[in-house]
Amino acid sequence: MTRRVAVTGIGVVAPGGIGTKAFWSLLSSGRTATGPITLFDPTGFRSRVAAQCDFNAQAEGLTPTEVRRLDRHIQFALVAAREALRDADLDLSTVSDRAGVTMGTAVGSTIRLEQEYVIASDSGRHWLADPHHALPFLDQSLVPSTLAAEVACAAGIGGPAMTVSTGCTSGLDSIGYAYQLIEDGVADVMIAGASDAPISPISVACFDAIRATTARNDDPAHASRPFDAGRDGFVIAEGGAVLILEELDTARARGARIYCEIGGFATRGNAYHMTGLTREGLEMSAAIDDALRQARLNPEDVGYVNAHGSGTKQNDRHETAAVKRSLGAHAYRTPMSSIKSMVGHSLGAIGAIELVACVLAMQHALLPPTANYETPDPDCDLDYIPNVARQRQADAVLSVGSGFGGFQSAVVLDRLGRRP
């Protein structure tokens, strides 16, 4: 018999606030956390806006050694994991042999690697980087698996551990794979999430080169405009989020507070193009259909869609087409919004951050809006909850993601008690 998976704890580091309370305050009010890039001098770049975290590592409980040793995205993950474990009120020592970690990231330790190359190469004056000037633990920044290893080490658990890197679907995929490990009986508890800190010259230059990011530099607060006819690209962001997943009977036995359960997860690749998307949304629709089938839900059961909603011309059209293909006529009656309008697009981290937003939306019976929505696009004709949060209880929530490389993923959250 298939084991069911509950969400018992959440933690988040996001633009606009550290922790779920500050995060939800931002989303529910429809405020934006996008502004000018300050983490480096962006003069000369096409896109000079970002959604940055107001993050003080030592104030958040990290030691000076951790701050010096770990890239910014790993620092985010440790803080988010600690909040999620506190929220779950979980004593890991009782389940350490049945617990694991899955973490997602798109670009890993980009900031640390770039900074260290500048130092070791004397600002690029020497083709060969001098290892004598590099940090002694620079090797840890090279391998993305360090993210999961550090979270597992901090939590003191030695079960399955992996880092997932599937571009912008990394967060959804990381949590989806954790769900499958519990469902299959490999683990009873999983620390699952994602983190990215890509606001660095090389990352911004990459997206500048393909014109994926917005050039609305004169109005940073309104630069992220998913589904709006005037959208011109996403706002790069940073952040991290962690969910504690538990086998449902195990969680019930210890008297855990259960937010909801994960009903289904599916992912597809389009085998088409690194950045291009098929206009019909076939692959995303296939992932949605499979996730709903696993959850034993009909399209009419979906009460809210948390959109990928990056704010690029092709993504928003593609996603709208996919949702209409999967939900049929019900798509026009289903509220759908993109929180990237408020917290930007933190690449691999955003899927996990969005799932935390979904959990909070279910808890508070309030659906976050799509900020900065002014002018409808005929190709995007669904209910995107423009600008103001909507009071509504959603018992089943669908969250979707789309990533470079053609990755398309979907996760279904279901309120406990809807199924036997």
> For 246-259, how does the pLDDT look when each residue is reduced to its tens digit (9 = 90+)?
999 999 999 999 99
Q: pLDDT (tens digit, 9 = 90+) per residue, 158-207? A: 899 999 999 999 999 999 999 999 999 999 999 999 999 999 999 999 99
- The verdict on residue 419 lying in a domain is no
Q: For the chain, what is the domain count?
A: 1
Any domain includes 228: yes
Q: In this structure, is residue 420 part of a structural domain?
A: no
Would you please indicate which residues are annotated as catalytic (active-site) residues?
168, 308, 345
Q: What are phi and psi of 399, to 5 degrees?
A: -120, 130
Region at 207 (left for phi over 0; alpha for psi -120 to 50; beta for the rest): alpha
User: Cα separations (Å) of 65 from 16, 69, 94, 138?
Assistant: 26, 6, 29, 14
Report the C-alpha gap between 222 and 342 in whole angstroms.
Answer: 9
Q: Which pLDDT score is estimated for 285?
A: 96
Whether residue 130 is contained in a domain is answered as no
The chain-wide mean pLDDT, for the chain, equals 94
Cα–Cα separations (whole angstroms), residue 197 to 200, 286, 332, 377: 8, 30, 36, 31
pLDDT at 278 over 80: no
Most confident region among 115-124, 364-373, 404-413 by mean pLDDT: 364-373
Strand 99-104 relative to strand 161-164: parallel, antiparallel, unpaired? parallel
Give yes or no for residue 420 having a pLDDT over 60: no
Instruction: Please provide residue 375's backbone torsions phi and psi, each rounded to the nearest 5 degrees.
Output: -120, 115
The verdict on residue 303 lying in a domain is yes
Whether residue 38 is predicted with pLDDT greater than 60 in this model: the reply is yes
CATH of the domain at 239: 3.40.47.10
pLDDT of residue 135: 76
Q: Is residue 132 part of a domain?
A: no
Query: Does residue 134 form part of some domain?
Result: no
Residue 118 in any domain: the answer is no
- d(CA 415, CA 8) in angstroms, rounded, equals 12
pLDDT in tens, 327-355: 999 999 999 999 999 999 999 999 999 99
Number of other residues whose CB lies within 10 A of the CB of residue 311: 30
Could you tell me if 265 and 400 are in contact, meaning their C-beta atoms sit under 8 angstroms apart? no
Q: How confident is the model at residue 156 (pLDDT cuts 50, 70, 90)?
A: very high
The range of the structural domain enclosing residue 408 comes to 5-109+144-414
Of 51-65, 126-140, 172-186, 217-231, least confident by mean pLDDT is 126-140
Return the SS3 of 71: coil
Looking at residue 398, what is its pLDDT? Answer: 98
